[in-house]
Structure 1
Amino acid sequence: MILSGTALDSPSPDLSLREVAYFSMEIALSPALPTYSGGLGMLAGDTLRSAADTAAPMVAVSLAHRAGYFRQKLDAVGQQTETDVPWSPEKTLPPASQTVTITMQGRAITIRAWRFDVTGVTGHIIPVFLLDTDVEGNDPYDRRLTDHLYGGDTYYRLCQETILGIGGMTLLHALGCQPDVYHMNEGHAALLALALLEDQLKGAPLNTATEANVAAVRRQCVFTTHTPVPAGHDKFGLDQMVQVLGRDRAAALEATGCLHDNLLNMTYVALRFSRYVNGVAMQHGKVSQLMFPDYKVHAITNGVHAATWLAEPIQQLLDSEIPEWRIDNQYLRSVYGIEPDRIAACHNKGKQRLFDTVAKRTGVQFNPSVLTLGFARRVATYKRASLLLQDPVRLAKIAEKIGGLQILYAGKAHPADNAGKGLIRDVFTEAAHLRSPFLKILYLENYDWDLGAQLTQGVDVWVNTPRRPYEASGTSGMKAALNGVPSLSILDGWWIEGCAESVTGWAIEDAETEAMEAESLYTKLESAIAPLYANPTAWARMQQHCVAMNGTFFNTHRMLRQYFTNAYFPQSASTKGSAVSPILTPDSQPAPVHEHVLV
C-alpha cells in the first residue's frame, strides 16, 4: 500500500528553503500509520497539517516505529492486553536520499529515513522524515531501536532519543537542510542541542565549548513542554548517559548545567539550550513557570486541525456556506450566519454514525434520542476515568429522572501502567453493577484515530475530569467543540479559556474532595445539561456557540501563527508589524517558503 500523496518516486521539496525543523518522538500522520500514541502525536500531526495548509516553511523529524504503539484488547472484566501493530515502511513510503552514521554506545550506527509528505489544501508539502535503524550492518540490538514507541527500558529510551535528536540533526544537514529554528516538541528531542553544539565547534572537542557557543545554540532552539506530571519528564542515570552518549558528550551535558538531582533530565537539557520555552495553555504556562522558576516560560494554547476533526456533514455545510474556513479558521465564527438547526442536523448524522460503529463493535444498540456522554483519552490515574461513576446510585437516579442516559468510554493505558489498567477494570466493574434500564455504559476497546474522531463528532457532551493542575491542555475537548459538542469539565488546561458557562459547556466546580467534585458533576448534569438537552432549539444554539466561539480559537492554524510570531521569528514580527501575510483564498498560490510568514 502506498499512502495517498506520498508516491514512492515523488521528489522532495527544496529543503534548503525550510526555516523551521519540528522534532517530535511521535507524529500522527495517517490513520494507516501507527506512529503515535495519543495527544502529543496528534498535536504534532495537526501542527504539520496546518503548516501545510498555510504554506509554512517547515520540515519535521520523528521515528519510524515499525512495531507501532500497541493494539488494545479488553476482556470481559476490562483486563487490557497488548499486541504490536507492525507495518512496513519499505512498502509504504519513499526513502530519503541519504543515510547517515552517528556514534552511540561506543559504536557506529547507520540511520536511514522514510519520507511522508503532509500536503495542504493549496498543494504545499511538509516533508516528515521517519528515522529507521533497521539497516543491514547495524548491531542486532541497534536494528530494533526505532521499532517500539515508548517501549523498552530507560536505556532503550535514551538510545531512541539520541537517534531522534542527534541522528535527526545529522540527517537534515546531510539533506542540505539548515533551518534557522529547531522546535523540540517535548524533551525527547533535546539532544539535538548537542549536535548543534558540535556543529558550532566545527570539529573541536566538546570540552572547549564556551558560553558563547551555548548561546549560539540557544538562539536556534524553541522548546514546548507538555505536562506537569513528573512521569512525563524523561530522566536517565549518569551511567546510562555515559554508556549511550560517551564520556565527551556526557561531560558536556554536565558542564552546561543539564543534570538535575544527579540525573540526566531531558527537560532541563531542553530548557538550558532554548531561547523560547512555552506551555500548551495559559494555565499550563503558569504551572510550568512554578516548576522551572529559573527559566522564563511562555504559553501558546494548543489547537486542533479543523479539517481533520470536523465531521463530514459539517464540512459539507461549511463548504457550501463559508468555504474560506479551510485556510482561515477564523471564518468559523461565521457559523452564526447558519441556522442552528442545520448544525444540529449535521451533528445528528455524526451521532448515528457513531452508534452504528458501537453496534458493529459490541452488538449493543444505543438510542440516538438519548443524552450521550463521552469520555475518551489516555488512561492515567490523574485523568480519573471513574469520577463520573463515583456515586453509581445517584447516577442511576439521574438517568431515570431525565428519561435515559448513555455513556461511552474509551482509552488505552500504557503497557507498564498497572494503575491505569486498574482504572479500566474499575469502569467495567461499576458498569456491570449498574442494573438500570435507563442507563447504558460501554467501554470501547482500541481507542485510535478513527474511534476518537467518531466519539468527538457523535456524543452530545464531552466529559473531562482531571486532577488539577495536571491537565496541560486536553485537545480532545477542542475536537468535540469543533463539532458542536459542549464540554462538562474540570477547570484545567484549555477549558479555563474555553468555558463560557451554559454557553459552550459547563465547569465542574473545584472542591476539596473527589466526592464533592463528583457532586458538582451530577448537579450540573441533572439541573443544567439534561433540561437544556430536552429543548432542541436551545441545544442547537449551544452547538452553534461551540463551533463559533471555541472552534474559531482552539485550532492549529491560530496556534501556528502564534509560534511563528512569538517563538520562531519574533524579531521579524516586530520589524514587519506582523508575521502573518494576507490569508490565502482557495484559488491563490502559497506564499514563497523562504518568507518568515504564515498565511
Structure 2
Amino acid sequence: MLDDFIHEPRIAYFSMEIALRNEIPTYSGGLGVLAGDTVRSAADLVLPLVAVSLVSRAGYFRQAIDAQGRQVEQAAVWEPRKWAKPLDAKIAVNIEGRAVWIGAWLYVLDGYLGGRQPVLLLDTDLDENQPEDREITHYLYGGDDVYRFKQEIVLGIGGVRLLQALGFRIRQYHMNEGHSALLGLELLRRYAYPPGDLRPGELPYDLPRVRALCNFTTHTPVEAGHDRFSYALAQRMLGTTVELATLKHLAGEDSLNMTRLALNLSEYVNGVAKRHAEISNTMFPGYRVHAVTNGVPPFTWTSEPFRKLYDHYLPSWCHEPEQLVRVDCCIPDDAIWDAHLQAKQTLIEQVRARTGVALQPEVPILGFARRMTAYKRPDLLFADLERLKAVARQHAFQIVLAGKAHPHDEGGKRLIEQLHAQARALEGVVPVVYLPDYDMDIAQALVAGVDLWLNTPLRPFEASGTSGMKAAFNGVPNLSVLDGWWVEGCIEGVTGWAIGNAVGADDGDARALYDKLEQVVLPLYYGYSGDPGGWIKVMKGAISKNASYFNSHRMMRRYATEAYIR
C-alpha cells in the first residue's frame, strides 16, 4: 500500500494532533480538526501530501459530566491496528543519550472523489524501547515539559528520519504550529557544511537550503501561548544534535522558543486569518507573516440534506465551492428551509438520545461549541440572566452547548460547572442543553442543526476559528465577536451579525449581544421585521458569501501556489 504514495514528491505536513475520524481520538480541538481538514482537502484536490503526527494511543480524553455539572475525564484509548497498518521501517532518535526507536502506522484518508492521502502516526511503543520511552507517544498534550519535549523530538526529528527511511521524496515541509519545529534541526544536520568550507562566524549549515524547504503556519496570537523549553532541558535531551550557539541563534537567547525556531527556519510563514497575520507581524518584527485564512472541506461539514440540495442545483459545488455564490439566484427559498429543517430534526433527535431533553423544532436553537477556556467566554451569553430571560419572554429560543476543558485548565472546568448552574437557573424560561464529550460527530450535527451559531471570544485571542465556517455551509448564520475569520466574513445583516465592534472594550459585549438578539436577530427569525423571507435571505448570504470562500479548497490552493511551488 505504501508504494501507492512514494512514486512522486510530496509535501510533508507535520502536526502534533490530527482529527482523522471520530473513532480515532488523536485530536483535542481546533488545531487537530484543521489538520484533518487540510488532509481531507488535499485528498479531494489530489494534491500530493503526506501527513505526520503522533499515534496518541491513549488519546485525549472522553468527557463525562457529573450531577453537579463538573467535567469528569475518562480514558480514550484506541487500538491503531483496527484503523491503520503497521509499517516495517523503524528509526532511532537520541534522547538523553540513549536510542529511542520509532515506528509508524499508516492510515489512508480517502477523499470523497477517490483521492487518497497517507497519514503516518509515529509510535514509540516498541519492544526495543525502555518502558518510559514506550509511553512518549501515548498521551496527547500529557505530562510535563520533559514529556512534551520528548514528543516534539519524536515528531520533528523522528518524523523527518522516518519519511526518508520509508522512501518518501519530500519537496517541502509544512509545520502546523511550532510543535514540529525540531524537524528543522534534522534538516540542518542533513545539510551541514564540511568544516573546511566555513568562513569565520558562519553557521556550519546550509541555512538557505533548509529555509527553502520549510513552511510554517502559526496559530497563536498570544506570546505566552508558544512552546518554550529551557536550554538545560534541550541540551540534556538533544545532546550534540545542534551546537548550543546555533540553537540560541535560531530559537532565542533565553529559552528554546519553538515558534522562533520555526520562523527562522522557514521561507514562508503565514497566519490563519488577515487579522491574525497583522497581530503576528507585530509580535514578530523582522519576519514577514502572510495571511492565509483557514477554511473547511465542503463535503465533510455539509449535512446530507444540503449536500443533496447543492448536488441538484450546483453539481460542481463540492470540487469548486466558489459555485455556491450562485445560491441566491439558483436555489428556491423553500428548498433551503426544508434542508435546514431536516438537519435541525437530526440534531433534535441526537439531543434527545444523548440527554433525554426534547427540544422544539419551531423554536430557534442557538449553538455554542468549542474548547472551554476563559478567552472563549462561553459564559458571555449568561452574563445577565434576568436580561436573558426578558429576551426569551419576548422571543422564545433554546441553547445547545458543548465543549471540553483541558484536564489541567481548572478555570475552564469551572466554566463548565458554572454553565450548568446557569442552565438550572434558566429552567422553565430558556431550555439549555450541554452535550458531553464534544467530538466530530456532535460538531457535525450542531453546525448543521442549530439556527444561529454563536462565538464570543476576547479580542484579539481568536486566531481564526472554523466552526462558524462549517455552519455557513449549512445555511446557519453567525452571531459573533469581530475577531479571527469573522472580521473578514461578517457582512452585517447579510451573512450574520457582529457582537460589538472590531476594536474597543470587551466589557460591553454582553449588552451588545442581548441587544442584537432582542432587537434584530430573533425578530427577523420570527418574521416580526416585516420581511417574511428575511431570515432565509441571511441563510443564503451565509452560503453564498461565506461558504463559497471560507473553505479549505481555497486554502490549499493558496498554499500550493504561494508556499509549495517556489
> Which TM class, normalised by the smaller chain length?
over 0.9
Structure 1 pair 521–297 and aligned structure 2 pair: CA distance change class (3 A)? same
- 1:230 shift after superposition: 3.8
* Residue equivalent to 2:555: 559
Q: Which stretch of structure 1 is more off in the superposition, 242-251 or 413-422? A: 242-251
- 1:231 shift after superposition: 4.6
* Residue equivalent to 1:295: 287
* Residue equivalent to 2:208: 215
- 1:120 shift after superposition: 2.2
Q: Which stretch of structure 1 is more off in the superposition, 265-274 or 210-219? A: 210-219
SS in 2 for 1:201: coil
**Which of the numbers 61, 82, 87 marks the counterpart of 1:96?**
87
- Contact kept, 8 Å, 2:365 with 2:398, in 1: the verdict is yes
Structure 1 pair 274–521 and aligned structure 2 pair: CA distance change class (3 A)? same
- 1:97 shift after superposition: 3.5
Q: Which stretch of structure 1 is more off in the superposition, 240-249 or 409-418? A: 240-249
One-letter code aligned to 1:380: T
* Residue equivalent to 2:545: 549
Structure 1 pair 39–464 and aligned structure 2 pair: CA distance change class (3 A)? same
- 1:252 shift after superposition: 5.4
**Which of the numbers 190, 194, 208 marks the counterpart of 1:199?**
190
* Residue equivalent to 1:42: 33
Q: Distance in 1 between matches of 2:245 and 2:115?
A: 40
One-letter code aligned to 1:538: G
**Which of the numbers 19, 23, 38 marks the counterpart of 1:28?**
19
Q: Distance in 2 between matches of 1:309 and 1:203?
A: 51
* Residue equivalent to 2:565: 569
Q: TM-score, normalised by structure 1?
A: 0.90
- Contact kept, 8 Å, 1:207 with 1:251, in 2: the verdict is no
Q: Distance in 1 between matches of 2:429 and 2:197?
A: 68
Alignment of 1:122-161 (within 5 A): 122-161=113-152
- 1:211 shift after superposition: 6.8
Q: Distance in 2 between matches of 1:332 and 1:99?
A: 46
Deviations 1:253-288 (A, max 9, x none): 43533125x111110110110011110000000011
**Which of the numbers 97, 111, 126 marks the counterpart of 1:120?**
111
- 1:124 shift after superposition: 2.5
Q: Pairwise CA RMSD of aligned residues?
A: 1.9
Q: Which stretch of structure 1 is more off in the superposition, 238-247 or 350-359? A: 238-247
Deviations 1:292-320 (A, max 9, x none): 01211111000001100000111111122
- Identical aligned residues as a percent: 48
SS in 2 for 1:17: coil
Alignment of 1:199-598 (within 5 A): 199-201=190-192, 210=203, 213-249=206-242, 251=244, 253-260=246-253, 262-336=254-328, 337-402=330-395, 404-435=396-427, 437-510=428-501, 513-535=505-527, 537-570=533-566
SS in 1 for 2:4: coil
Q: Distance in 1 between matches of 2:169 and 2:367?
A: 45
- 1:229 shift after superposition: 2.9
* Residue equivalent to 1:107: 98
- 1:30 shift after superposition: 1.1
- Contact kept, 8 Å, 2:112 with 2:299, in 1: the verdict is no
Deviations 1:553-581 (A, max 9, x none): 000000000011111214xxxxxxxxxxx
- 1:466 shift after superposition: 0.5
- Contact kept, 8 Å, 2:13 with 2:176, in 1: the verdict is yes
Deviations 1:441-476 (A, max 9, x none): 122111100001111011111111101000000100
Q: Does 1:64 align with 2:60?
A: no
Structure 1 pair 375–318 and aligned structure 2 pair: CA distance change class (3 A)? same
Segments of 5+ residues of structure 2 without an aligned counterpart are: none
- Contact kept, 8 Å, 1:300 with 1:562, in 2: the verdict is yes
* Residue equivalent to 1:179: 170
- Contact kept, 8 Å, 2:104 with 2:121, in 1: the verdict is yes
SS in 2 for 1:73: strand
Deviations 1:514-564 (A, max 9, x none): 442111111110111011101252212211111111000000000000011
Q: Distance in 1 between matches of 2:538 and 2:121?
A: 42
- Contact kept, 8 Å, 1:379 with 1:412, in 2: the verdict is yes
SS in 2 for 1:396: helix
Q: Distance in 1 between matches of 2:300 and 2:376?
A: 25
Deviations 1:70-99 (A, max 9, x none): 001111222112112111112331122311
In the TM superposition, structure 1's runs of 4+ consecutive aligned residues that sit over 6 Å from their partners are 202-209
- 1:179 shift after superposition: 1.2
Structure 1 pair 205–369 and aligned structure 2 pair: CA distance change class (3 A)? farther
Q: Distance in 2 between matches of 1:474 and 1:109?
A: 36
Q: TM-score, normalised by structure 2?
A: 0.95
